[in-house]
Amino acid sequence: MTTTIAKLEKIRPESLWSKAWKRFLRHKLALFGLSVMAVLLFTAIAAPVLTPYSPIKQDLRNLRKAPTAEHMLGTDGVGRDILTRVLHAGRISLSVGLVSVSISALVGIVIGVAAGYVGGKTDMLLMRLTDMVMTFPSLVIIITVAAATGPSVYNAMLIIGLLTWPSIARLVRGQFLSLRTQQFVTAARSIGVSNWEIAFKHIFPNTISSITVAITFGMATSILMEASLSFLGLGVPPPTPSWGNMLRDAQSMNILEGMPWIWLPPGIMIALSVLSINFIGDGLRDALDPRSLL
């Protein structure tokens, strides 16, 4: 009997998540993106111990110095170490991206679930609200609201999060409209399962793969939006470093042509973070594709 059970366990079918993980590991660009993001997160978290300098303290004896052994990426217009500021800026930019996409996902999921599961007038009202938000150029609205509320890290998180939820809401609604007519939902209703449990215990788990991919791409978009706001002076206020406001310090032609060490590092970090997150999103999309898991 024990031998039979052991044989049955050996031939037990592989789980869908296990298949998805193996497919993800075969995606070379996704693995590259995951490796880069791991390095960026580590350097951001460990920034205070990786460099001996302060990210905000000025050193007027070392203004705009080219890279040396003492300052590996040079210094900026007020003598601050560029490497230190880039690493500390990663903490701000990545945090803004993570928090804002979390807010966006929460709002989008709640609205999408309510519209897709309840339907009727609730669906119509919520989708008209979603369409109205999607009608306006998101970056223009974000800039306008940021200008009205003033520059702040927390304002940037809230503004980006509260104005970028419509795509997730429409995605979740579409998934719920498709899944609520399936047989497992009908069976759950027939045995008296509450609407709350059907929505969040039976239908919602089947939408997690799509939501995960959307959140991944949404984080890349949030990092770019924060950089845009900070570049315009409406995001993270100086002297707190972010990749966006570091680029703002390099607007003159003299710096662009003769002092690339001031603007290249933050620009490269923005490009690396956005590209790596997009690579991870591509890998997740391919790995979690239902047609590939059958």
List Cβ neighbours of 192 (8 Å cut-off, separation of 6 or more). Answer: none
The predicted structure's pLDDT at residue 192: 86
pLDDT for residue 3 is more than 70? no
**pLDDT score, position 5:** 54
Residue 239: cis peptide before it, omega within 30 degrees of 0: yes
Q: How confident is the model at residue 8 (pLDDT cuts 50, 70, 90)?
A: very low
The model's pTM: 0.87
Mind listing the pLDDT tens digit for each residue in 44-94? 999 999 989 999 999 888 889 999 989 999 999 889 999 999 999 999 999
What pLDDT does residue 107 have? 95
**Residue 16: its pLDDT value, please?**
66
- Residue 236: per-residue pLDDT: 87
- pLDDT value of position 138: 80
Determine the Cα–Cα distance for residues 233 and 226; give it in Å rounded to an integer: 10
Q: Give per-residue pLDDT as tens, 175-215.
A: 999 888 888 888 888 888 888 888 888 888 888 888 998 99
Rounded CA separation 59/285 (Å): 47
User: Any idea where the domains of the chain sit in the sequence?
Assistant: 20-46+75-292
CB atoms within 10 A of CB 242: 32
Q: Per mean pLDDT, which range of 2-16, 104-118, 218-232 is the poorest?
A: 2-16
Lowest mean pLDDT among 117-131, 188-202, 215-229: 188-202
Instruction: Output the DSSP codes for 5-59.
Output: HHHHHHTPPPPHHHHHHHHHHT-HHHHHHHHHHHHHHHHHHTHHHH-SS-SS---
Mean pLDDT of the chain: 87
State the pLDDT at residue 215: 93
Per-residue confidence band for 14, with pLDDT thresholds at 50, 70 and 90: low
Q: Are 92 and 45 in contact (CB under 8 A)?
A: no
Fold of the CATH domain 20-46+75-292? MetI-like fold (1.10.3720)
